[in-house]
Amino acid sequence: MDSISLVMRRSYPSSVWLLLGLALFASACSDMGSNPGDAPDPSERSATWIGGIEDLMIDQCGDCHGEPAKNGAPDTFRLDIYDSSENDGNDGAFERRDRIEVRALNQKTMPPPSRTALSSADQALLQEWLDNGAPRE
């Protein structure tokens, strides 16, 4: 019998080692679904571009209003970037904030019916961002 087996047998009952192994396994499994790139938990988001709005816009608008524009979306602006300084002078979300408010919050025509609608939490966060002047940070 090697020294590790001897220490394990004499120091702790096998049930302790089993529980320790299960705890380590459960801990490893609990992290399997999370990635650093996942969208933040809604309760952890803030009404700033980098604090939650960017992820929201990429998730909800970026497929069509990203690079390249798709599904008939105009290619003169992008909603997956903050402003024109990031897009060769073409508008970003900051310059389009009034239209975002009208289409996404007032008329509720964006995202289109073929896409998942904004949740009430997303709508509230977006409204707060707009009410605060659409801050980057």
pLDDT for position 77: 96
Residue 44 pLDDT class (50, 70, 90 cuts):
confident
What are the tens digits of pLDDT across the range 86-112? 988 899 999 999 999 999 999 999 999
Query: Which of 6-10, 35-39, 74-78 has the least mean pLDDT?
Result: 35-39
E strand or H helix at 121: helix 120-131
Better-predicted residue by pLDDT, 66 or 22: 66
**CA dist., res. 101 & res. 110, Å (int):** 10
pTM given for the model: 0.68
Contact 131, 98 (CB under 8 A): no
Out of 10-19, 45-54, 79-88, which region has the weakest mean confidence (pLDDT)?
A: 10-19
> pLDDT tens, 53-78?
999 999 999 999 999 999 999 999 99
Show the tokens assigned to 78.
């992008």
Q: Are 53 and 126 in contact (CB under 8 A)?
A: yes
Give me the mean pLDDT over the 33-40 stretch. Answer: 46
The confidence score (pLDDT) of residue 87 equals 86
Would you say residue 33 has pLDDT above 80?
no
3-class secondary structure, 112? coil
